Amino acid sequence: MAEQSVGINKNSDPEATRHHEPCGKALFRPLKVGSITLKNRITMAALTRNRAQGTYPSDIMKEYYVQRAGAGLIVSEGILISRQGTEWPLAPGLWDDQHVAGWKKITDAVHEAGTHMYAQLWHTGRTSHPDVPEQKLSGAPVYAPSAISARGGKFRQLPGAPGYVTPTAIDDPWVIVKQYKHAAVNAKKAGFDGVELHGANGYLVAQFLDNNSNKRTDQWGGSVENRCRFGLEVLKVLVEVFGSDVSVKISPCGGYNDVGMPLQETLDTFSYFITEAEKLNLAYFTLVRYAEAFDVVLDGKRRATKFDVLDAFRPYIKKAKLFLNAGVTPEEGSELVEAGKVDAIVIGFNYVTHPDVAQRVFRNIPLNNVPDIKHMQTKGDADWSTGYTDYPTAVA
């Protein structure tokens, strides 16, 4: 793969660059996932970075992903299935031919650099705002399962940093299901190896699953089976396009974007959802475990339901592979893979700041780049490479 021509990080141990057996051997065993085989079990999480040209993939995005091609699998940043359902500025989409062409440049480059790439398909539901530029261009309201506003949250890119609004209840969820399928067809044309349904972090799929945000009395709400219906129907149409190369990311503990249910309701809902999704022969599930950083405080209390998602849901995942996300270190991940508790690990924040995570883990070099928090998302007055493609590698 192409790497930045920089020397060893001055805080790293030069001795670590000498050839030796890889650290965490279990993470460097190949893994069959759907129809592809990953070269290692370190995968890169979807990470919103706000570098699209409007909603179209940019050249610097290609550079960013190629830098990180040491991962066994790269999952793209969340890709919007439509203008309606937009939360962040400069987030990419996948609803027209220009999007397809832009993403094709990226997937071709990532494949040439030696790894695989999934597209994460995303709709934000009630966490959008009517004054977000792309949302305004859509000509549609902010949609959600029910007309219930999320609490907390600020749209700092808008004047006055407004909070969430009361959304419009979706009249016919099948319309949104069809949008997911259209995005999957475009992902196939764009050369992605598969698709990951974003069912986590309080976005649209999670809003349907949660009985606090979904108060519908039709076939899409009420019972566990009905609340799971939307996500399962989306997965079915994705499978129609990609076969076994479909996955889903879920965060049962909730917290972020004001979702989360009491423990027993959570266990009942997600065990049913996973059991039914397993019947679709998915490639993998990504389980997002509890992370305090994603557990907001509302009315003086933590919003999430804290429990061990791996212990609770591992028994239901029998055929698909299981990936674990949220604060998983390479050391812990290696132990979990060795013990057969997970098949791969998902690394997020460290892939923002270290383009060569897998190479560092292989050579036991610390993940010690200093984060550029100011430019984590783009700033109008900054070079887009700042805090994006300018992090140094430690491996020459």
Catalytic one among 64, 143, 203, 256? 203
Q: Find all residues with CB under 8 Å of 221, minimum gap 6, and list them.
A: 145, 146, 208, 214, 215, 227
Active site residue 256: no
Residue 12 tokens, joined? 């790293």
How far apart are the C-alpha atoms of 178 and 126, rounded to whole Å? 19
Pair of tokens at residue 120: 């994460």
- How far is the C-alpha of 249 from the C-alpha of 240, rounded, in Å? 19
Distance, CA of 284 to CA of 322 (rounded, Å): 6
> Strands 301-302 and 246-250, how do they pair?
unpaired
Range list of H helices, the chain: 59-67, 97-112, 133-138, 173-189, 204-209, 224-242, 263-278, 309-313, 330-338, 349-353, 357-363
Q: Which helix (H) or strand (E) holds 94?
A: none
> DSSP assignment of 365-385, as one string?
----PPP-GGGSS--TTS-TT
What residue type is assigned to position 149 of the chain? S
Distance CA 156, CA 302 (A): 22
Q: Where do we find the tokens 């299981």?
A: 322
Nearest to 259 by CA among 249, 268, 248, 250: 250
Strand partners, 43: 73, 346
Half-sphere exposure of 14 (CA within 13 A, CB side): 2
Give Cα separations from 85 to 32, 71, 78, 375 (angstroms): 33, 29, 12, 24
Q: Which residues of 193-208 are buried (b: 16+ CB within 10 A; e: fewer)?
A: bbbbbbbbbbbbbbbb
Which residues are catalytically annotated? 203
